[in-house]
Amino acid sequence: MKIAKRLGAVAATTAALVGFIGTVPAAAAADSVHRGSTTCFNWSWGDGTVTWTIYAHNTCGSAKGLEFTTSVGATGCMWVSGGAKEHHKYPDKPNSNSFHDVKECPPGTGD
């Protein structure tokens, strides 16, 4: 009888903790992903702590660069073939309002 009561108490405590810890507000989860588009690209990136991965889909028929600036003022650029999808990691957080298409990536900015 004592074992059954203890098991019941453990199960109830575990269920309560899982319910408390396992829930994330929908608004908080949605805010962690940033999305946008340019003439030739649909892009997204998620909030990171050490690195940030940018995902890009080039919807144009020819290869293009997706250029952006970062939170420290650096320029980043990723080269993506026409119709292709790519993802790359960067050490600095991108600025969402800085993304634009380019015909070539500047030297030293990434790909």
- Does the pTM of the predicted model rise above 0.85? no
* Rounded mean pLDDT, 6-32: 51
- How many C-beta atoms lie closer than 10 Å to residue 54's C-beta? 21
pLDDT at 17: 45
Q: State how far the Cα of 21 lies from the Cα of 12, in Å rounded to an integer.
A: 14
Does the pLDDT of residue 12 top 80, yes or no? Answer: no
pLDDT at 101: 96
Q: State how far the Cα of 13 lies from the Cα of 88, in Å rounded to an integer.
A: 42
* Rounded mean pLDDT, 57-85: 96
Count how many residues are written for the chain.
111
**Structural domains in the chain plus CATH codes:** 33-102 (2.60.40)
pLDDT bin (cut points 50, 70, 90) of residue 110 is confident
Q: In what order do the strands lie in the sheet with 85-90?
A: 33-37, 41-46, 52-58, 85-90
Residue type for position 75: T
Q: Give Cα 67 distance to the centre of its chain.
A: 16
Structure tokens at 93: 């957080």
